[in-house]
């Protein structure tokens, strides 16, 4: 039996989990979850009720960064974990103040006490710092920091892509473009209908999806 990944295509947390699983060539059964009508099997598996959630034979992993490190600890052919300790601080900044500012910019109506323009400026200041650090990648070559952060940069960029493209962040813009046009990103952005009990298992592999036959599941 393969591990089961409960996922949602557009969720940046789920994106980064799928990216690391693909990089590790860890085959998982993907179950697409409808967030407004969560399947009972998913809610039984996930303590937080949020995607991604990875269910293995030994454990359930309910945090996206933990799924990334779990997969890469098993197999890391591209050396994503070989990065300076500063990379973990960068991920914390993305998951903390950057994500908070992103949400309060993109979903302003959910945060009526917050000023969306002020939060866009907070996120912009962080992107300015990252732009100064970047070459092609954060640490000269692809690492977990890049792929843990880029799904959130993508989400921020597409709040207002014209505005984003007009900002003085050429390194960030090239970094994001390299990411969204990559074969790796395209391979994990497959569209699936919401999973239902009894559906034929569908595996995410390094290069895309494989639909399992009845004999494969034995």
What span, in angstroms and rounded, lies between the C-alpha atoms of 186 and 192? 14
Given this model, what pLDDT does residue 206 score?
A: 86
| Residues 18 and 102 placed together within one structural domain of the fold | no
| Residues 158 and 213 placed together within one structural domain of the fold | no
The count of other CB atoms within 10 Å of the CB of residue 84 is 13
| Residues 12 and 69 placed together within one structural domain of the fold | yes
Given this model, what pLDDT does residue 208 score?
A: 84
| Residues 193 and 122 placed together within one structural domain of the fold | no
Given this model, what pLDDT does residue 71 score?
A: 98
Give the angle subtended at the CA of 135 by the CAs of 185 and 182, to the nearest 5°: 15
| Residues 176 and 108 placed together within one structural domain of the fold | yes
| Residues 64 and 102 placed together within one structural domain of the fold | no
- pTM to 2 decimals? 0.94
| Residues 12 and 47 placed together within one structural domain of the fold | yes
**Mind listing the pLDDT tens digit of every residue in the chain (218 residues)?**
899 999 999 999 999 999 999 999 999 999 999 999 999 999 999 999 999 999 999 999 999 999 999 999 999 999 999 999 999 999 999 999 999 999 999 999 999 999 999 999 999 999 999 999 999 999 999 999 999 999 999 999 999 999 999 999 999 999 999 999 999 999 999 999 999 999 999 999 988 888 876 544 43
Using left for φ > 0, alpha for ψ between -120 and 50, and beta otherwise, residue 49 falls in left
What span, in angstroms and rounded, lies between the C-alpha atoms of 113 and 190? 36
Q: How many domains is the chain built from?
A: 2
Given this model, what pLDDT does residue 214 score?
A: 55
| Residues 129 and 149 placed together within one structural domain of the fold | yes
| Residues 158 and 210 placed together within one structural domain of the fold | no
Given this model, what pLDDT does residue 218 score?
A: 35
Instruction: Look up the CATH number of the domain holding residue 189.
Output: 3.40.30.10
**Full DSSP string of 45-68:** H-SS--S-EEE-SS-EE-SHHHHH
| Residues 101 and 171 placed together within one structural domain of the fold | yes
| Residues 31 and 90 placed together within one structural domain of the fold | no
Please report how the helices 116-133 and 144-157 are oriented relative to each other, as an axis angle in degrees rounded to 10.
Answer: 140
Instruction: Look up the CATH number of the domain holding residue 134.
Output: 1.20.1050.10
| Residues 160 and 146 placed together within one structural domain of the fold | yes
- Write out the residue range of the structural domain in which residue 34 sits: 4-78+185-217
């Amino acid at each position: 039996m393969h591990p089961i990944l409960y996922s949602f295509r557009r969720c940046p947390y789920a994106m980064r989990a799928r990216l690391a699983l693909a990089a590790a060539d860890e085959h998982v059964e993907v179950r697409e979850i409808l967030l407004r009508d969560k399947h009972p099997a998913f809610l039984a598996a996930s303590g937080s009720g949020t995607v991604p959630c990875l269910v293995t034979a030994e454990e359930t992993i309910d945090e996206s960064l933990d799924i990334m490190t779990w997969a890469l600890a098993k197999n890391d052919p591209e050396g994503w974990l070989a990065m300076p300790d500063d990379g973990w601080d960068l991920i914390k900044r993305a998951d903390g103040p950057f994500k908070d500012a992103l949400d309060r910019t993109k979903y302003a109506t959910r945060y009526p006490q917050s000023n969306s323009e002020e939060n866009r400026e907070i996120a912009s200041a962080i992107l300015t710092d990252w732009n100064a650090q970047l070459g092609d990648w954060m640490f000269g070559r692809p690492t977990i920091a890049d792929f843990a952060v880029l799904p959130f940069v993508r989400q921020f960029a597409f709040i207002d892509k014209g505005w984003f493209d007009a900002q003085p962040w050429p390194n960030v813009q090239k970094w994001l473009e390299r990411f969204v046009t990559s074969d790796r990103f395209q391979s994990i952005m497959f569209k699936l209908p919401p999973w239902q009990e009894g559906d034929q298992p569908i595996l995410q592999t390094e290069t895309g999806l494989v639909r399992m036959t009845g004999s494969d599941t034995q």
